[in-house]
């Protein structure tokens, strides 16, 4: 939906936004009965990005309140540990007035969310680059929580058939993407991504949300929109993180299905550039392996399962600044908490999420040991 939108194209985007799911619903997701709608637009912040920011917290999807809850919980956590409001920037996808899921939770978060910017892919990546230009600290922390998806190229044929029964637009893009990794079709359909559904109007103000498939069909195919302005992918995030000065440690935590797709090695990634593993000084934790979903992405829960587990782990960490925390310890304890949740779920024998971690420091240490090994 687009706030204050007019014109046939935007009306078409409204219809597309209510369209069938972009991807299969993860196992274990439960539908929540709709309630009375929110009834008004929630207002994102229009303030400039603070040059003092050290922490970015991003809730990418607006269909449930879990993601926004995690952002506010983490913001409060870091402030309780001595970070100031100027050192923390948050972003969220704004639900529209007709939204009917998790309404009570959204309204309870409304005041806290007023300081958060609109979470569009373009805005978040641009904010990272802007901050990095004159960055002085030796670390940067990024938490992103949303739905995640594996490449549309890997979607089963029956799913693509359900999405595009007439084979009018999706199959042609899939064929082009398979034929040319340098194509714009591959940039849209060939990559892992974390969803950021918010859209800001280029002129006249206003905002709303548009699904991934609506962006591809209505904005790209009809209007020529480029993936780099509308998606949050491993390559685009890696490019933004590389703008920090040398020596800045980047701590990235990704909560979402298939988020492990961001840390595949270059040979396993959809394309060599589609990974964070080539970014100097990066540490990445993800909620799930590239081929796995994660739970808690439906309405009714306070947070996602991984987001809640991560918060419990953070609560137990010593009161040290971010760069002095042990990420391996955090990943180990977070994985244990996830396993506990999996065992207590309604499907304890189902596929495991298998959270992932990657550290450039560990990679460099291994390379140094290999170089020192006698030949």
Q: pLDDT tens digits for 280-292?
A: 999 999 999 999 9
pLDDT band at 337 (very low <50, low <70, confident <90, very high): confident
Q: In the prediction, which pLDDT does 11 show?
A: 28
For CA atoms 248, 150, 346, 61, the dihedral sign is positive
Quote the CA–CA distance of 345 and 339 in Å, as a whole number: 10
Q: In the prediction, which pLDDT does 326 show?
A: 67
Quote the CA–CA distance of 118 and 108 in Å, as a whole number: 18
* 369: pLDDT strictly greater than 50: no
Please spell the DSSP secondary structure of 19-82, one letter per residue: SS-SSPPPTT-------S---S----B-SPPPTT--EEEEE---SSSHHHHHHHHHHHHHHHTT
Q: In the prediction, which pLDDT does 40 show?
A: 83
* 111: pLDDT strictly greater than 90: yes
Quote the CA–CA distance of 300 and 30 in Å, as a whole number: 8
* 241: pLDDT strictly greater than 60: yes
* 199: pLDDT strictly greater than 50: yes
Is pLDDT larger for residue 327 or for residue 266? 266
The contacts of residue 152 (CB under 8 Å, 6+ apart) are: 160, 170, 174, 177, 188, 189, 190
Q: In the prediction, which pLDDT does 351 show?
A: 73
Quote the CA–CA distance of 175 and 108 in Å, as a whole number: 46
* 16: pLDDT strictly greater than 70: no
* 367: pLDDT strictly greater than 80: no
> What is the pLDDT averaged over residues 109-131?
96
Q: Which of 147, 157, 188 is nearest to 61 (CA)?
A: 147
pLDDT band at 1 (very low <50, low <70, confident <90, very high): very low
Paired tokens of 354: 């298998």
Q: Which of 90, 96, 46 is nearest to 210 (CA)?
A: 96
Could you give the angle at which helices 66-80 and 103-113 cross, rounded to 10 degrees?
40
Quote the CA–CA distance of 155 and 5 in Å, as a whole number: 32
Quote the CA–CA distance of 162 and 170 in Å, as a whole number: 11
Cα-only R_g, the chain: 20
Domain annotation for the chain: domains and CATH numbers? 8-20+36-151+191-372 (3.40.50.1460)
The contacts of residue 182 (CB under 8 Å, 6+ apart) are: none
Paired tokens of 190: 């060939």
* 107: pLDDT strictly greater than 80: yes
Contact 285, 330 (CB under 8 A): yes
Q: What percent of the chain has pLDDT over 70?
A: 82
Most confident of 1-5, 101-105, 147-151: 147-151
Q: Which of 39, 143, 37 is nearest to 90 (CA)?
A: 143
pLDDT (tens digit, 9 = 90+) per residue, 267-279? Answer: 999 999 999 999 9
Query: Tokens 């879990």 sit at which residue?
Result: 66
Is pLDDT larger for residue 149 or for residue 366? 149
> What is the pLDDT averaged over residues 308-327?
79
| Residue positions counted in the chain | 375
pLDDT (tens digit, 9 = 90+) per residue, 20-66? Answer: 334 433 434 444 555 688 888 888 999 999 999 999 999 999 988 99
Q: In the prediction, which pLDDT does 35 show?
A: 67
Contact 288, 307 (CB under 8 A): no
Q: In the prediction, which pLDDT does 55 show?
A: 97
> What is the pLDDT averaged over residues 316-329?
74
Strands 282-286 and 249-255: parallel
Paired tokens of 252: 């990235």
Average pLDDT score, the chain: 84
Contact 271, 181 (CB under 8 A): yes
HSE-up of 161 (CA within 13 Å, CB side)? Answer: 3
């Amino acid at each position: 939906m687009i706030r204050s939108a007019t014109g046939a194209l935007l009306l078409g985007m409204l219809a597309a936004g209510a369209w069938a799911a972009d991807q299969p619903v993860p196992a274990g997701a439960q539908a929540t009965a709709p309630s009375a709608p929110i009834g008004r637009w929630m207002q994102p912040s229009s303030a400039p990005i603070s040059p003092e920011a050290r922490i970015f917290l991003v809730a990418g999807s607006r269909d449930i309140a879990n993601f926004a809850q995690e952002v506010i919980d983490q913001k409060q956590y870091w402030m309780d540990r001595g970070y100031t409001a100027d050192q923390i920037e948050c972003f969220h996808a704004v639900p529209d007035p007709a939204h009917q899921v998790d309404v009570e939770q959204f309204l309870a978060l409304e005041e806290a969310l007023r300081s958060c910017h609109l979470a569009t892919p373009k805005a978040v990546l641009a904010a990272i680059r802007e901050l990095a230009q004159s960055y002085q600290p030796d670390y940067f922390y990024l938490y992103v929580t949303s739905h995640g998806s594996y490449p549309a190229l890997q979607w089963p044929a029956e799913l693509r058939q359900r999405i595009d029964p007439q084979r009018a637009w999706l199959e042609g893009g899939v064929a082009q993407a398979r034929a040319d990794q340098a194509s714009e079709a591959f940039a849209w359909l060939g990559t892992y991504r974390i969803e950021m559904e918010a859209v800001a109007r280029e002129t006249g103000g206003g905002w709303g949300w548009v699904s991934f498939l609506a962006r591809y069909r209505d904005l790209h195919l009809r209007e020529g929109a480029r993936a780099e302005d509308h998606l949050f992918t491993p390559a685009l995030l890696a490019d933004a993180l590389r703008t920090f000065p040398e020596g800045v440690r980047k701590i990235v935590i990704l909560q979402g299905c298939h988020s492990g797709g961001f840390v595949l090695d270059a040979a396993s990634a959809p394309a060599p550039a589609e990974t964070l593993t080539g970014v100097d000084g990066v540490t990445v934790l993800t909620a799930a392996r590239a081929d796995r979903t994660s739970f808690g992405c439906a309405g009714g829960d306070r947070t996602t399962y991984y987001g809640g587990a991560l918060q419990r782990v953070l609560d137990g960490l010593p009161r040290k600044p971010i760069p002095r925390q042990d990420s391996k310890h955090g990943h180990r304890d977070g994985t244990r908490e996830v396993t506990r949740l999996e065992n207590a779920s309604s499907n304890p024998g189902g596929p495991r999420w298998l959270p992932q971690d990657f550290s450039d420091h560990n990679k460099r240490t291994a390379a140094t040991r290999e170089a020192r090994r006698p030949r």
